[in-house]
């Protein structure tokens, strides 16, 4: 049975009275996605997301962001994921990640592939009405009920 072991970053900021969530454009897939990474054989789920946040956002682990010590949610199940025909063993961990410092925020803002989206956009699976959210990530968000509509 195929496996999908993935760590997902929940990077948010407050705008007005609501959270906005950071997504990135994934051109090979033609969709937006939360920062996420596939776990390598010898690393923990936390190490995976720490590596991917630094790499994908071009940030320094020592000064630009902080990954929570514990996942906000861990999921493990067998299911047929969107776009697949056979069931997979899925393990997904959602980690809150906090950006800090002007340089980190500036770097994220300057990257045209990044967007800050509402909870409604994540739950609907469309970013600014123009492009889809990754179908797998959308499925995992709903499966784990990780994003509240009122946020």
CB atoms < 10 A from the CB of 75, how many?
A: 17
* Position 12 confidence tier, pLDDT thresholds 50, 70, 90: very high
Looking at per-residue pLDDT, the higher value among 82 and 149 belongs to 82
pLDDT digits (tens, 9 = 90+) for 71-118: 999 999 999 999 999 999 999 999 999 999 999 999 999 999 999 999
pLDDT of residue 29: 87
Pairing of strands 88-99, 36-38: unpaired
pTM passes above 0.85:
yes
Q: What 3 state SS string does 35-100 have?
A: CEEECCCCCCHHHHHHHHHHHHHCCCCCCCEEECCCCCEEEEEEECCCCCCCCEEEEEEEEEEEEC
Phi, psi of 109 (to 5 degrees): -65, -35
* Position 17 confidence tier, pLDDT thresholds 50, 70, 90: confident
pLDDT digits (tens, 9 = 90+) for 30-83: 999 999 999 998 999 999 999 999 999 999 988 999 999 999 999 999 999 999
Sign of CA dihedral 25, 127, 7, 46: positive
């Amino acid at each position: 049975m195929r496996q999908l072991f993935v760590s997902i970053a929940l990077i948010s900021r407050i705008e007005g009275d609501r959270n906005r969530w950071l997504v990135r454009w994934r051109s090979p897939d033609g969709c937006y996605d939360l920062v996420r990474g596939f776990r390598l054989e010898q690393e923990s789920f936390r190490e995976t997301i720490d590596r991917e946040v630094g790499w994908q956002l071009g940030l320094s682990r020592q000064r630009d962001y902080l990954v929570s010590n514990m996942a906000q949610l861990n999921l493990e199940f067998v299911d047929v994921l969107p776009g697949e025909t056979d069931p997979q063993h899925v393990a997904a961990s959602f980690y809150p990640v906090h950006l800090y410092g002007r340089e980190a925020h500036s770097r994220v803002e300057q990257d045209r592939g990044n967007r800050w989206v509402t909870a409604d956009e994540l739950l609907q699976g469309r970013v600014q009405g123009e492009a889809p959210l990754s179908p797998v990530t959308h499925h995992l968000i709903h499966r784990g009920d990780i994003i509240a509509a009122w946020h």
